[in-house]
């Protein structure tokens, strides 16, 4: 097992060595017995349950790779943002929140969400209030509402050790994800910049490296620069009128065609769709006869 990072009472529980999807890292708060997100290592979770114990589970947001092992914590209080309660009502609700409209995609995800992520209806005992400060005894944690990735996404700032858990604002080379039905490029940019201003010394995230220290300003800048890079490539592509199918086939986000299509093809279209809407709104492109073109 990769050695866990520990900062005061805050531990980073790794989902494998790199926390790549379908895994994700979690945070565990000692003494308080709080687990934040449940997509990491099942064996490690069972060890924590056995001792020193888990008393409550928090969610940064509703995505499946953060819910995988919730069954291990059955009966414990669950806490997340109330605005996302609808996404946790079951598989069909989750597919609707993503925005899957093709039945073939939905069929793939129905099986995957049930078998690989153990998705079923969940109900929170408590809800976060944006800006609230929760006293966990071993530390206090500030709840920061950071929409964009999802509408109810929260980052959590542990004040005394100055540790910020940013979840899926993960500072990876892939860049931000904002392809959900309610995802937003502008909110993502605003949230990331807001999180950059939090007086943290340690930044923890849900995927890949998962831990950043020191001068992270260049890392934040590079992460957000991916948004502009995607848009610039899309504008270059639209020098010639293109259909949505043409745009998806260009693989601007994922770089090459990949399987399963229900993940990669849908995701490509979802992210490019956000950029198309943004460019249409600014007047940079036009839509004529089912084709997009640069003005």
Q: 1 pLDDT exceeds 70?
A: no
Local confidence band at 3 (pLDDT 50, 70, 90 cut-offs): confident
Give the pLDDT mean for 58-79: 98
Structural domains present in the chain? 5-214 (3.60.15.10), 227-294 (1.10.10)
Closest CA to 139 of 164, 158, 165: 158
Give just the sign of the alpha carbon dihedral 210, 216, 222, 227.
positive
Question: Do 191 and 169 meet the contact criterion of CB atoms below 8 Å apart?
Answer: yes
Mean pLDDT within 259-279? 98
Identify the pLDDT of residue 2: 58
| Residue carrying structure tokens 């790199």 | 18
pLDDT tens digits, residue range 93-132? 999 999 999 999 999 999 999 999 999 999 999 999 999 9
Res 234: pLDDT: 98
Q: What is the pLDDT of residue 206?
A: 98
- pTM for the model stands at 0.97
pLDDT tens, 7-42? 999 999 999 888 999 999 999 999 999 999 999 999
Q: Residue 53 — very low, low, confident or very high, per pLDDT cuts 50/70/90?
A: very high
Going by C-alpha positions, the residue among 144, 230, 254 that lies closest to residue 191 is 144
- The reported pLDDT for the residue numbered 36 is 98
Q: Look over the chain and give the mean of its residue pLDDT values, rounded to a whole number.
A: 97
- Separation in Å, CA 54 to CA 26, 31, 57: 13, 9, 8
pLDDT band at 218 (very low <50, low <70, confident <90, very high): very high
**pLDDT tens digits for 182-212?**
999 999 999 999 999 999 999 999 999 999 9
Tokens read off for 281: 């709104």
When pLDDT is averaged across residues 250-276 and rounded to a whole number, the result is: 98
pLDDT at position 17 is 82
DSSP string, 51-68: TT---EEE-S---GGGTT
Mean pLDDT within 66-75: 98
């Amino acid at each position: 097992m990769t050695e866990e990072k520990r900062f005061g009472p805050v531990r980073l529980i790794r989902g494998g060595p790199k926390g790549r999807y379908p895994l994700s890292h979690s945070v565990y708060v000692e003494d308080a017995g709080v687990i934040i997100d449940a997509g990491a290592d099942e064996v490690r979770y069972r060890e924590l349950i056995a001792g020193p114990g888990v008393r409550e589970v928090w969610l940064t947001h509703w995505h499946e790779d953060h819910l995988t092992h919730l069954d291990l914590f059955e009966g414990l209080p669950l806490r997340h943002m109330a605005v996302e309660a609808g996404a946790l009502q079951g598989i069909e609700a989750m597919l609707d929140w993503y925005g899957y409209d093709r039945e073939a995609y939905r069929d793939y995800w129905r099986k995957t969400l049930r078998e690989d992520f153990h998705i079923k209806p969940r109900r929170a005992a408590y809800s976060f209030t944006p800006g609230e400060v929760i006293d966990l005894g071993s530390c206090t944690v500030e709840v920061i509402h950071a929409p964009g990735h999802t509408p109810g996404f929260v980052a959590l700032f542990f004040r005394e050790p100055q540790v910020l858990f940013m979840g899926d604002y993960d500072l990876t080379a892939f860049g931000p994800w904002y392809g959900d039905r309610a995802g937003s490029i502008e909110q993502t940019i605003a949230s990331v910049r807001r999180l950059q201003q939090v007086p943290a010394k340690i930044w923890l995230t849900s995927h890949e490296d998962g831990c950043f220290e020191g001068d992270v300003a260049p890392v934040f800048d590079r992460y957000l620069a991916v948004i502009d890079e995607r848009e610039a490539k899309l504008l270059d592509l639209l020098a010639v009128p293109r259909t949505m199918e043409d745009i998806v086939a260009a693989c601007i986000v994922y770089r090459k065609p990949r399987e399963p299509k229900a993940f990669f093809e849908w995701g490509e279209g979802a992210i490019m769709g956000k950029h198309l809407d943004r460019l249409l709104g600014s007047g940079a492109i036009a839509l004529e006869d089912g084709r997009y073109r640069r003005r």
